[in-house]
Amino acid sequence: MNLRILSPLQGGVVDAIASKSHVHRLLICAALSDRPAEIECSALSDDIEATVDCLRALGAEIGYNRGVFSVAPVKEIARGKVLRCRESGSTLRFLLPVAAALGADCRFLLDGRLSERPLQPLIAALEQHGCSVFRPESRCISISGQLRSGEFFLPGNLSSQFISGLLLAFSCMKEGGSICLQDRLESAPYVRLTVETLKAFGVDVHVSESRFAVPFGSVLHSPGRIAAEGDWSNAAFWLCAGAISRHPVLCRGLSADSVQGDRQVLAILAQMGARAAWTKEGALVEKDRLHAVDIDAADIPDLIPALAAVCALAEGRSRIYHAGRLRLKESDRLHTICSALGAVGAEIREEPEGLTIRGVSQLAGGTVCAAGDHRIAMMAAVVAAGCAEPVTVLQAQAAQKSYPDFWKHYQLLGGKTEVL
């Protein structure tokens, strides 16, 4: 689907959708717990549905009605099943070790660029602890055997999802297990989110500077009913739009105390000169004179597309660094950010591990290709607020991977679009 943005959003109030990062973890914990659970989840997405489908294949019973998942946990392991991950990296990296811990002997099917995203360190760790992993072709992974407990050694700078996946697996193994990091952990807030989710299900992870351990005898206990947090990652697009639009944006349903690393967006926008604050109604951002900043992307990679759009309209030269892992997302995101913002007139340069952006007061507008990447499609909608002419978004449907109602909410905030 190709969309032309006839007029950008006009500001207003929007409710944050459920954090898919949190929902993935809640669903897996519920499917592995001692009794049924209910999970309040205000919105679905392709990635969430991928995790649901895979958990059903493993033997969980999951229903969804009026914003609530009902989860009956796995009682008898379903072996030899096919788990369709679609393009969800979280689904694959979380459930590969979980399936190994359950001894499920199953196949994972991968779509899009998921087959190209790094996985080898996790596979090697599984093979060192009793499993056999076979790739008959790039879009299929077969796993067999029973995962053994012990100490797992993993890099911390490649994907925090490796650590989260193993912690989830340890929680359903009587012996527990531990992870020793071989270097600095990047995207650390995502591991903290896993630790907090496990704690909500009664499993206390022992955490030190470079080691995570699930103790012997840990059991996941259902909390009965639990609510997913609002998603700071997707809300960031609305908040960044507020920083460059003529009208403020208020995003409700977020938690100021969340361990989600992307809540840093408010502080970064304030540092750039926007009027950004936490109010009793929610997160509020209003335009003011913006200036350039340097942004360390190590712990907040998902914020970079939205923040790059703001940098393109902030006076001075901004630098985004420690962002090399963005090349391993649904697209080579450093390249697609550079191409998309360049297409509407931004002065932007792609670096090996980041971006350099010289802001201007107004961009020209033009045609942006989302390159099949949900965050590039949403970034194009944000930057349209700073363009003199309309913006056309090719492959705008990519947003549904994480935010199916994105364009609907865009219209609720006053944006006008037409399908080409």
Catalytic residue annotation:
302
Q: How far apart are CA 101 and CA 362, in angstroms?
A: 54
Token pair recorded at residue 139: 């879009």
Helices (H), 109-246: 120-127, 160-170, 188-200, 232-244
In single-letter form, the type of residue at position 40 comes to: E
CA dihedral 66, 68, 74, 78 (to 10 degrees): 40
On whether the CB atoms of residues 122 and 78 are closer than 8 A, the answer is no
Within 8 A by CB and 6+ apart from 312, the residues are 341, 346, 347, 348, 357, 359, 360, 363, 383, 386
C-alpha span between 108 and 123 (Å, rounded): 13
**H or E element in which residue 20 lies:** helix 20-31
The answer to whether the beta carbons of residues 214 and 184 sit under 8 Å apart is no
